Amino acid sequence: MVAEAHAGRAAHAGHGAAGSLLGSAPGWVLVVLVVGALVLPYLVGVARVRARGRRWSPWRTAAWATGAVLVGAALAPPLAEAAHAGAQGHTAQHLVLGVYAPLALVLGSPVRLLLGAGSRAVRARVAAVLQAPLVRVVSFPAVAALLDTGGLYLLHLTPLHALSQREPLVHALVLAHFLLAGALYAWAVAGPDPAPRRPGTATRVGVLVLAAGAHGYLAKLLYGRAAELPPGAVGSTADREQAAVLLSYGGDVGELLLATALFGGWYRLRGRRTRRGSRGAGVAAPRPVG
Amino acid sequence: MATTSSRARPAAGTAEARRSLLVAVMGGVALMAALDEIVFHQLLGWHHFYDRSTSQVALLSDGLLHAGELVLLVASGFGFAELRRRGALAARWAWAGLFLGLGGFQLFDAVVDHKVLRVHQVRYGVDLLPYDLAWSLGGVLLLGVGAVLALRARGGR
């Protein structure tokens, strides 16, 4: 167990030898760097949007800051070490880094900020990136959900998990995948950002139910077969059973938050349409939302 | 899809009556599912998180159902708020829908979850028949209340 925790600290995000020499200090330096790298450019962007006389909701800024702090918390030494010490810590880190932090970041509307704060050249480039075939494919909700939840299946049902516990580089890549795939999924399903060809509410709700159902099923599978999954895992079966319960309920909370963001967006959009159109025209032809 | 002339009491068949009914059915289903989770899984501990005799197909469909219930809870909340915001909530239809949703889920849980899919049982280590009967009858009763309310809403009184 002790050796594992040490290996964990050393493995943490590639901060090899320094980690074991200086205790957790490098871990905290990394946290400060990551949070700073996320928050400072965002604040510069907000200042530029405001300087152009446009409004920027403080809630968006708060959401982005919350996301940045959650990313920092997931990488900070206490959680990083717990993630290496056992399955429950690992699951907690996964939930914070791959579910809660991405949603908070996405609610900060980073693309809208980039469009509002950037020069004409920047705006053109953002538009070009959003229109690029690859971006359009991976940001389709079903594909994003597959990358996110599929990655989780891959990690837990193949020897990838054991490999990531041994190899610091693989571990860093897995963490990066959690964050990026989680952000892509949240952006595609519930993001307030403008996106070309974002599918309608019904499609996104359907993808959310399928992905959350697959997530819940994986949690039950890991609980039922905790003695053998993930392949090559060390530690106790009881720990892995508790981790599966945490994955299940933590995933439920994530789904509720995503659904709230999704339907909150629907509610705002509908309010705008109702106000804009005449009463009759604006509210005609209601579509079922479920 | 006729537009309503009177907002005070939307009549049967209008978009508002149907929407109110739909939103409330979704809310009723989600509320009963939440009640089931909180009371029987968490407080009483009668239901189990995982039943070793459950098939993989049942586990997967249970996961999807549970995910759908959570989404329904949020969807009906926002749908309800949206109807109220534009003064289009048909209260009688909403009450009918609520009970139909509550009863519908209860009966579905009793028959499909417990008996067909066998995701879990009502309670373990006891004679199941009285529990299963109570579970199903409760659902039928709630559905009956919902049906009566729907008939009265259709009659406009």
Per-residue pLDDT of A69-116, as tens digits, reads 999 999 988 888 888 888 889 899 999 999 999 999 999 999 999 998
Rg, C-alpha atoms of chain B: 18
3-state helix, strand, coil in chain A (%, to 5): 80, 0, 20
pLDDT tier for residue A283 given thresholds of 50, 70 and 90: very low
Q: Hey, is B154 helix, strand or coil?
A: helix
Per-residue pLDDT of B122-136, as tens digits, reads 666 666 677 777 778
Q: Which of A44-48, B73-77, B133-137 has the lowest mean pLDDT?
A: B133-137
In chain A, the percentage of residues whose pLDDT exceeds 70 is 87
Question: Quick check: B107 and B139 in contact, CB under 8 A?
Answer: yes
Q: What is the pTM of this model?
A: 0.81
In single-letter form, the type of residue at position A135 comes to V
Per-residue pLDDT of B36-68, as tens digits, reads 877 776 666 666 666 666 677 777 877 888 889
Indicate the DSSP class of residue A196.
Answer: T
Helix (H) and strand (E) counts in chain B: 4, 0
Q: Which of A52-66, A73-87, A186-200, B36-50 has the lowest mean pLDDT?
A: B36-50
Q: Which residue in A204, A210, A220, A242 has the most chain B C-beta atoms within 10 A of its own C-beta, making it the best mutation to test that interface?
A: A220
Q: Is residue A175 over pLDDT 50?
A: yes
Q: Which of A246-255, B48-57, B63-72, B102-111 has the lowest mean pLDDT?
A: B48-57
Both tokens assigned to A59: 């809630």
Name the residue with tokens 């997967």. B60
Is residue B2 in some structural domain?
A: no
Is residue B4 in some structural domain?
A: no
CB proximity under 8 Å: B 42-101 to A: 49-50, 52, 56, 59-60, 62-68, 70-75, 77-79, 81-82, 85-86, 88
Both tokens assigned to A270: 């509908």
Q: Which residues of B touch A205 (CB under 8 A)?
A: 71, 75
CA–CA distance, B114 with A284 (Å, rounded to integer)? 41
Q: Which of A33-37, A222-226, A257-261, B26-30 has the lowest mean pLDDT?
A: A222-226
- H helix intervals, A86-230: 87-95, 101-107, 110-117, 120-131, 133-138, 141-157, 160-166, 168-190, 201-224
pLDDT tier for residue B1 given thresholds of 50, 70 and 90: very low
Q: Is A271 exposed, middle or buried (0-12, 13-18, 19+ CB in 10 A)?
A: middle
What is the predicted pLDDT for the residue at A114? 92
Is residue B1 in some structural domain?
A: no
pLDDT tier for residue B156 given thresholds of 50, 70 and 90: low
Q: Which residues of B touch A211 (CB under 8 A)?
A: 67
Of residues A58 and A285, more confidently modeled: A58
pLDDT tier for residue B117 given thresholds of 50, 70 and 90: low
**Total tally of structural domains belonging to chain B:** 1
Domain containing B90 equals 15-155
Q: Is residue B114 over pLDDT 50?
A: yes
The answer, yes or no, to whether ipTM is higher than 0.85 is no
Q: What would the mean pLDDT of A54-83 be, rounded to a whole number?
A: 92
Compare all CA atoms of chain B with the CA of A219 and give the residue at the minimum distance. Answer: B63
Per-residue pLDDT of A2-30, as tens digits, reads 444 444 444 444 444 444 445 678 889 99
